[in-house]
Amino acid sequence: MRRQITGFSNPTIKRLKSLREKKYRKREGHFLAEGLRILTEALDAGKTPKLLVVVEDTQLHPLAQKIEEATVASGGEVIETSEAIIAKLSGKSNPQSIIGIYEDHATALADIDRTASNIWLVAQSLRDPGNLGTILRTGDAVGAGGLILVDDCVDPFSVEAVRASMGAIFTQSVTSTSWGDFLEWLRRGDGQLIGTSLNTDADYQAIRYQAPTFLLVGNEAQGLPAEYEQECDALVKMPMMGKADSLNAAVATAVMAYEVLNQARK
């Protein structure tokens, strides 16, 4: 049974709109995801929304109907409202016709099983939600175990990061921690820490990667701090044949991840 909401001042709409801000996401323990593709990826990963918002008087796509049925079956609520209210929730002038509210599913560092994959992605002080979402998508593509966010990174559950992940936020584990805690955890077991840096002559294809490989990329503007580079088992760089001195953080992560994957395939 759907509940209809028509007013912008409705308390439920106000609460959902507040989830666009990090402090309210943290307080509520929930986040927004929009669009049929992303919500379908979530359902395929076994995640159902706690609350589903759909545009009123619209014939739902069969996949959207499936999501609605799963939401109701799991005890969630379905709300129908106007396209204008959906646009307010999504922050876009041309919003998707379906939005899901999901539980924050961050993974604690202590709960990571490093043997679950040969590849793990690690980002330090990442600031751009588009980069973060793209890195999650890359992780899904190469079968990485997940993304470990070190120090003060952008919120992986922001609307922008979730949108850029194209559903990978539901297939990849996401962990936030400090550098000290990450390093202590890493050195208690197997794991090769590979940093991307301009401060080396080692070509990224010259290194033999050992499983599990933890690929570390630094802040978009500053790169890795010198003391972090010193803790890496190896530093590598990719050849730059033009005038640019480095790649975008997400692009560099993808190039590195596929090199590790290709070595394992061979």
Fold of the domain spanning 109-265:
Alpha/beta knot (3.40.1280)
pLDDT score recorded for residue 226: 96
Which CA distances in Å does 143 have to 16, 114, 215, 257? 32, 13, 13, 10
What is the pLDDT, as a whole number, of residue 97? 83
- Residue (of 176, 180, 156) closest to 168 by Cα position: 156
**Pure H helices in 173-238:** 179-186, 226-230
Pairwise CA distance, residues 42 & 71, whole Å? 12
Q: Select from 140, 116, 132, 139 the least CA-distant residue to 212.
A: 116
Q: Where are the domains of the chain?
A: 2-103, 109-265
List of the chain residues with pLDDT < 70: 93, 95
pTM for the complete prediction? 0.93
Q: Write the class of the CATH domain 2-103.
A: alpha beta
CA distance 110 to 112: 6
For the beta carbon of residue 111, count every other beta carbon within 10 angstroms. Answer: 9
In sequence order, the 6+-apart residues with CB closer than 8 A to the CB of 109 are 148, 175, 177, 181, 182, 185
